[in-house]
Amino acid sequence: MKKKLMIWLFAIIFLLISALAIMFYLNNDQKPKTLQASQYPSPPAETPIEKITTNIIHDESKWTTNNTHDAEIIKVNDWYYTFSTDYKVAGTPLPGIQIRKSKDMINWMFVGRVFDNVSYEAKAWTNGGSTYWAPDVVEINGTFYLYYSVSELGTRNSYIGLATSASIEGPWDDQGSVIKTKEGDSFTVNAIDPGIIIDKDGTPWMAYGSYFGGIFVTEINKATGKLKNTDKEGTLIAQRQNNDFAIEGPAIMYNPDTDMYYLTVSYGWLEDTYNVRVARSESIQGPYLDYNGKNMIDISDESFDTGTKLVSSYAFNNDSGWLGTGHNGLLQDGDNYYLTHNARAGDDLYWSHLHVREIIWTEDGWPVVSPERYAGKPINSVESLKTEKIVGQWEQIVLSRIDDSMATSTTLHLYKNGKIDDENGEDYWELKGDTLSLYWYAPGDAPNDYWVDTVTVLPQWDWENWQPTLVFTGLSQDGTAVWGKRLPTEEKK
Measured between alpha carbons, how far is 129 from 177 in angstroms, rounded to an integer? 14
Nearest to 136 by CA among 214, 70, 235: 70
Which candidate in 70, 193, 372, 427 is catalytic? 70
Maximum separation of any 2 CA atoms in the chain, in Å: 112
Query: In this structure, what DSSP letter does residue 434 have?
Result: T
Dihedral over Cα of 66, 314, 483, 337: its sign: negative
Coil, strand or helix: which one is 392?
strand
Determine whether 491 is an active site residue.
no
Measured between alpha carbons, how far is 23 from 17 in angstroms, rounded to an integer? 10
> Phi, psi at residue 16, to the nearest 5°?
-65, -45
Determine whether 248 is an active site residue.
yes
> Phi, psi at residue 84, to the nearest 5°?
-145, 160
Instruction: Give the CA count within 13 Å in the CB-facing half-sphere of 101.
Output: 11
Nearest to 101 by CA among 194, 192, 170, 54: 170
Whether residue 73 contacts residue 329, with contact meaning beta carbons closer than 8 Å, is answered with yes
Measured between alpha carbons, how far is 383 from 218 in angstroms, rounded to an integer? 44
Instruction: Give how far Cα 148 sits from Cα of 167, 191, 320, Å.
Output: 17, 10, 33
Which candidate in 72, 219, 248, 290 is catalytic? 248
| Other beta carbons within 10 Å of 28 | 10
Active site residues: 70, 248
